[in-house]
Amino acid sequence: MESKFLFLVNLLVLQYLAVLCVSQDFDFFYFVQQWPGSYCDSSSSRCCYPTTGKPAADFGIHGLWPNYNDGSYPQNCDSNNPFDGSKISDLISSMRRNWPTLACPSGSGETFWSHEWEKHGTCSESVLDQHSYFETTLGLKQQTNLLQALKTAGIKPDGEKYSLGDIKDAIKEGTGYTPWIECNQDSSGNSQLYQVYLCLDNSGSSLIECPVFPKGKKCGSAIEFPIF
């Protein structure tokens, strides 16, 4: 009787682990960066600078998001592993510079980072623990250096309009990979460069060509690159 009981317990544990692994299974990551000038001059969002002050005029991290090849994605995979700032204490100064919050009311960034970890990061626990998730994302920001790639091609955040094709070509030249560009509208209704998506393999170690692009807001052929 005891051996049968232990067998059933082990079976239940294995079934639970199988479900957990499936819930954390995914095909690739989207690495998403946003231009703060477009977030702040938008018809659809309010902008508040962080409590630490106005961020630098550079692309900021939005997140690192596990995704499936069919375009869907897992979310909120582990409620037992909430965001814990003490686990990334050595990264906080870099997080404030490279992953600033622009949401209102003004904050330190921890609410933003907590949301990103709990919604997206927990679904990558099979390859990245909490510290590795944020450290990897910060490293990608430095590796891709979008603003420099654009400036090298003569594309600057000066409020002028640039060809969408030229923007894509500049980022591909700088990073080696094809980006997906998301636009939003400024307060006057003009299309502007908002977010840039690149893709990472499901081990979290290498940039790849995106298996599928998201279904977000598309851009016109010429888009504004606003001042910030």
Query: Which of the residues are catalytic?
Result: 62, 116, 120
Handedness of CA 198, 201, 203, 207 (dihedral sign): negative
Q: What is the CA radius of gyration of the chain?
A: 20
Tell me how many degrees the CA angle 172-177-183 measures, rounded to the nearest 5.
65
Cβ neighbourhood burial of 154 (10 Å; 0-12, 13-18, 19+): exposed
Q: Whose structure tokens read 């995979």?
A: 77
Closest of 155, 172, 126 to residue 222, by C-alpha: 155
**How far is 77 from 124, CA to CA, in rounded Å?**
9
| Neighbour count for residue 196 (Cβ, 10 Å) | 24
